[in-house]
Chain A
Amino acid sequence: MNQLEPQRGKAEPAGLDVVVTTMASDSHTWNLVFLQLLLEELGHRVTNLGACVPDELLVSECRRIEPDLIVLSSVNGHGYHDGLRVIQALRACPELAATPTVIGGKLGIAGSGEPDRQRSLLAAGYDGVFEEGRSVADFRSFVGALPPAASRALSAPADRALPADRALPADRALPTAARTLPTASASGVLR
């Protein structure tokens, strides 16, 4: 049982490669565990980078994995500030310039519901901003509307189409990341 246990954790061939991460100053991880399980249940393959991810590591992991979706989560109140910095670094990499990238959680220290904050995050390059728990339904719709990985793989360079269980360097990736990449199975539909 050397892994998190998703309810229906069968990765679909058409499922997306997703990076779930927080940012350098944030140590909260229940949010990351929750998002990982949720995405795995939807048939996607998740690499969870864990707590306090430095900008360089975040960018280098995303460049290496070239995911179909990057999910940033932060609840410590610095997420807005940190998120503006991180999206610049991600968008500056040619291979990540168009990768669907979203941010969510509790992004400020004074409560949610600041439309200005959402607007400036979108303007800075995020494709979606999901504050607080009520946004999880919206997030599911957003993910559901992304094109399946298989259709992208056709036009992607050969290494994009490799099976999902590529090994992660042990010093970098958290154990759960390597453990939870299930081998691709052909059963089921994308939910």
Chain B
Amino acid sequence: MTVPATAPRGDAPATPGFGAFVARARAAGTLVVQPRMGMADPLRMRDGLLATRGAAATTVGTITLDSYTRTGDLAAARSALNEGVGLNGYPIASHPVDVTRAVLRGVSDARFPVQVRHGSAMPEHIIRALLAVGLDATEGGPVSYCLPYSRTPLSEAVACWRRSCELLASLREFGAEPHLETFGGCLMGQLCPPSLLIAVSVLEALFFRQHGLRSISLSYAQQPDRVQDEEALTVLGRLADELLPDVDRHLVLYAYMGVFPRTPGGARLLLEDAARLAVRTGAARLIVKTTAEAHRIPTVGENVTALETAAAAAAAERLRPPLTAVPDTGIEAEARALIGAVLELDTDIGRALVRAFAAGYLDVPYCLHPDNAGRARSSLGPDGRLHWSNVGSMPIAGLSGGPRPPILGSADLLGALSHVQWSYDSRAAETPDLDRTPAAPRELGHTTP
């Protein structure tokens, strides 16, 4: 069996906290895997958490929130619940506190920490709701949950995220160690060159620390090219060690966040590549995607399968020789230049971020948010590597070679967005055995302990 050790779950009393759990798993040489999972019905949410806990993998649980709760439209969330309208996540601020406590009772503890994933530019109501039910781990950031997720002015998101961080960090007075993960390593999910992902991830982590958090993870999302990702994650780890030496920290990799392969085989190959990448680059945790990603919200069974697939690929990768040298194509120089330019603007990192976007020192390609300069553009090489075709006013001109030809027109854009989908679906088609229809979603509770 390739079932990985589940050491962090063990019997001995364990230090509570999300960060501590991940640190134990890392020490035991195991990758923590985590789903993106959220459903409106409390019983189904509980079943999903139980199935995640029971999967043959070292897992942490997720409660992903619905879009109404994310955007603060609690009236819409409530009426959707009343009318039985299908929600794309769990409405944590609408279910009574007792109900969510019952969802978590006997499920979430030091051996199975649960994180709330939300995507809110103004998350204070969500932080209050998760604290009220006894949770202390979540994710996001003042930039990464504003620009790609809202039309909220960046300065308002920064102010709300500051309050939210302080609220979450206040748990430390009671001996807890709340955990916050940056979403900066994802941004728009696709077509963003790695240096900007790294810079925003690091800057958000610094923002979290400035507002009281001491257990932080830094995200990075898998991109089309493995070698470019290896370089990027190595740089992210180096910058995190250098700039956040005094906090508990780890790297978290997101399985590809752009247009996903449509076939089960293609989706699986891409997820397995993500798991290998995480192991090779020292990421301690991986957030998986399922074979349903391109089509609809996944079932619990599809999520469990994804967790176990990723864990098995990670365990196999551990047996291979580790990554030794990575090439230097300028990602580090760009990331340092971006971070340095922002930090010079103001000692208050939130204010520095607002000013950086106003000046175009940070500029997210293809982001329509009114506070994004919108001059930077990326391009995708035939080999899948991401490049800049225009750096706008970002202080990185020439650091990784000259500008590349831009993406022009709707067909070109769709081609670039679909590159990963297309190449993995083709690969799966060449491996017919892989592309079988997935087994029917497994019964809940039928998972390996």
Does B bind A? yes
Q: Please report A residues at the B interface, Cβ cutoff 8 Å.
A: 1-3, 5-8, 24-27, 29-30, 32-34, 37-38, 41, 48, 50-53, 76-78, 81, 106, 108-112, 174-176, 179
Binding site for A on B (CB under 8 A): 67-68, 70-71, 73, 76, 80, 85-88, 119, 148-151, 188-190, 295-297, 366-370, 372, 374-375, 377, 390, 406-414, 417
Give min CB distance, B210 to chain A, whole Å.
26
List A contacts of B372 (CB < 8 A).
Answer: 175
Q: Are A30 and B296 neighbours in the complex by a CB distance under 8 Å?
A: no
What would 5 more interface pairs be, CB under 8 Å, given A6-B410, A25-B73, A109-B86?
Answer: A5-B409, A25-B70, A38-B410, A50-B369, A50-B370
Given A24-B73, A77-B297, A174-B370, A30–B87 Cβ distance below 8 Å? no
Contact A34-B87, Cβ < 8 Å, known A1-B377, A24-B71, A53-B151? no
- Evaluate whether A30 and B374 lie within 8 angstroms (CB atoms) in the complex, with A78-B68, A109-B297 already known: no
A-B contact pairs, 10 of them (CB 8 A): A1-B390, A5-B408, A25-B68, A30-B190, A33-B368, A37-B410, A50-B151, A76-B88, A81-B85, A112-B295
- Nearest neighbor of A42 in chain B, beta-carbon distance: B410
By secondary structure, the B interface counts as loop
State in angstroms the CA–CA spacing of A5 and B377 once bound together: 10
**In the complex, what residue of chain A is closest to B85 when comparing beta carbons?**
A81
Contact, CB under 8 Å: B296 / A110: yes
Task: Give the chain A neighbours of B85 by CB distance below 8 A.
Answer: 81
Q: Are B296 and A111 in contact (CB under 8 A)?
A: yes
Which residues of chain A are within 8 angstroms of B67 by Cβ–Cβ distance?
Answer: 25-27, 76-78
Q: How far is the CB of B118 from chain A (nearest CB, A)?
A: 12
Is A81 in contact with B80, judged by CB distance below 8 angstroms?
A: yes
The answer to whether A7 touches B73, judged by C-beta atoms less than 8 angstroms apart, is: no
* B297 to A, closest residue via Cβ: A109
Q: Are A25 and B375 in contact (CB under 8 A)?
A: no
For the complex, give the distance between the alpha carbons of A26 and B70 in Å: 10
- Across the interface, which residues of B come within 8 angstroms of A37, CB to CB? 409-410, 413
Asked, given contacts A2-B375, A27-B148, whether A48 binds B368 with beta carbons under 8 Å apart, the answer is yes
B411 touches A7 (CB 8 A): yes
Task: Indicate if the CB atoms of B86 and A110 lie closer than 8 Å.
Answer: yes
Name the distance in Å between A43's Cβ and chain B's nearest Cβ. 13
